[in-house]
Amino acid sequence: MEVVPIFSSARNLVTIPESPQRAMQRVKRNFNPLRDDTADIPDQVYERICRILKTLGGFQLHGYKNACIKRRISARIRSVGCASARDYADILLQNRSEPAELIKMLTIHVSKFFRNQNTFNKLRDEIFPTLFSGCMQEGRGRLDIQSFGCSSGEEPYSLALILRSSFDHEMSQVKVSIRAVDIDEEVLRVAAEAVYDPDRMDEAPSVIKKRYFTLQDGKYHLVPEIRDMVSFHCQDLLRSVPLEGCDLILCRNVLIYLERSHQEALLKRFADSLRGGGILVLGKT
């Protein structure tokens, strides 16, 4: 039988004596949509999937809530038509594109402009005025903002839109930096393009839509004036890269996916990196 060393760079991973096409055919043959054994991923297989994802996709699953991740892995197992988690782990190892597909399913990217409008109203009416006046009182010429888990840019761009539409005068005296971070390169590419489907815009005030977007072929294109206010960075929040000093941190709808110990560690890092009077904004959930 032929041994196929598909991923030569992958150390500590066993090679499978079967071609990827054959393996896919085999699992599809065995697929029974009424069997729900995929919902239950044995610990050993889960550990193996974690190892494969780390080695082949550079993605560290430890730290994320197991139940939540397992549910999504099960959904992927079902959608590729695998008979069991064990078979799926083989596919993950053999099929070059599968690790990236799975990572895409594991990191939820849902976002919207002005998602949970009350948060943005509070930022506009209370938080930004306080932060700007703090800067001016201290004679500090800059305000540093970070958006962690920024997805395709809707959140940091919403901040930029508020600042440009309501704080132009303050920004002539205080330089504002908006740094947006996500682990997923693909969403960051979308963020850099800044072209959005209408469903991403339904919480955005219509005056903002009219003034800062152009509508072309049914999509909303953000004007360069706002795009240029945000810098995007690909970074894994769970790796202990130092966070720079900042005045405002948004980390919304990211912590909910993490294990408690990682939530606490991240919150401590946020606290350490916030300057006196700095603000942390979390998601509604």
Ligand X SMILES: C[S@@+](CC[C@H](N)C(=O)[O-])C[C@H]1O[C@@H](n2cnc3c(N)ncnc32)[C@H](O)[C@@H]1O
Residues binding ligand X (CB under 6 A): 107-111, 115, 149-151, 155, 181-184, 187, 236-238, 252-254, 283
Residue with Cβ nearer ligand X (27 or 254): 254
Please report how close the Cβ of residue 174 comes to ligand X at its closest, in angstroms. 24
Type and span of the H or E element at 165: helix 154-166
Those residues with Cβ within 8 angstroms of residue 201's Cβ, 6 or more apart along the chain or in another chain: 112, 113, 209, 213, 220
Residue with Cβ nearer ligand X (81 or 283): 283
Type and span of the H or E element at 246: strand 246-251
Please report how close the Cβ of residue 258 comes to ligand X at its closest, in angstroms. 8
Q: Where are the beta strands (DSSP E) in 140-200?
A: 142-148, 175-182, 195-196
Token couple for 227: 């795009």
Residue with Cβ nearer ligand X (114 or 167): 114
Residues 217-226: contacts with CB within 8 Å, 24+ apart? Answer: 219/195, 220/195, 220/196, 221/194, 221/195, 222/157, 222/194, 222/195, 222/196, 225/164, 226/157, 226/160, 226/161, 226/164, 226/194
Please report how close the Cβ of residue 36 comes to ligand X at its closest, in angstroms. 27
Q: How do 213-216 and 219-222 pair as beta strands?
A: antiparallel
Please report how close the Cβ of residue 269 comes to ligand X at its closest, in angstroms. 12
Shortest Cβ contact with ligand X: which residue? 149
Amino acid letter, residue 180: A
Residue with Cβ nearer ligand X (84 or 107): 107
Query: What's CA 189's distance to the chain center, in Å?
Result: 12
Rounded (5°) CA angle 197-201-202: 120
| Whole-angstrom distance, CA of residue 162 vs CA of residue 217 | 26
Please report how close the Cβ of residue 81 comes to ligand X at its closest, in angstroms. 26
Which position has the token pair 């740094």? 179
Residue with Cβ nearer ligand X (163 or 243): 243
Please report how close the Cβ of residue 262 comes to ligand X at its closest, in angstroms. 9
Residue with Cβ nearer ligand X (83 or 266): 266
Residue with Cβ nearer ligand X (16 or 163): 163
Please report how close the Cβ of residue 280 comes to ligand X at its closest, in angstroms. 13
